[in-house]
């Protein structure tokens, strides 16, 4: 499957009546890489539960960046 085919599946199956894409409450038992996202609207990343590390690097945001209510057992690197 190509990335374009995956994008079509996501748009066809996870778009609400307002045109927003909702990909929520997925569970994986492996590493997950979500990078290089290019979003014309808002990108929401909320309520992540990660047993390993959560890495968020090199964000370019034209609007605001909100990060609050983090619960971290390890270290926070800035």
The 3-class SS string of 26-56 reads CCCCCCCCCCCCCCCCCCCCCCCCCCCCCCC
CB distance 23 to 10 below 8 Å: yes
50 inside domain: yes
How high is the pLDDT of residue 68? 80
pLDDT band at 66 (very low <50, low <70, confident <90, very high): confident
74 inside domain: no
34 inside domain: yes
Q: pLDDT tens digit string along 2-20? A: 999 999 999 999 999 999 9
Cα–Cα distances (Å) from 73 to 29, 46, 51, in that order, read: 20, 18, 10
Average pLDDT over residues 60-67: 86
Q: Provide the token pair at 26.
A: 């997925």
Q: Based on the structure, what is the number of domains in the chain? A: 1
| Structural domain span for residue 12 | 1-68
Q: pLDDT tens digit string along 19-61? A: 999 998 899 999 999 888 889 989 888 888 899 998 888 888 8
76 inside domain: no
40 inside domain: yes
């Amino acid at each position: 499957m190509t990335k374009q085919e995956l994008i079509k599946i996501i748009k066809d199956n996870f778009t609400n009546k307002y045109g927003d894409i909702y990909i929520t409450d997925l569970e994986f038992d492996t590493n997950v890489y979500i990078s290089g996202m290019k979003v014309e609207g808002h990108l929401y990343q909320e309520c992540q539960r990660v047993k390993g590390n959560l890495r968020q690097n090199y964000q370019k945001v034209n609007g605001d960046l909100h990060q609050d209510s983090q619960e971290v057992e390890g270290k926070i690197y800035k």
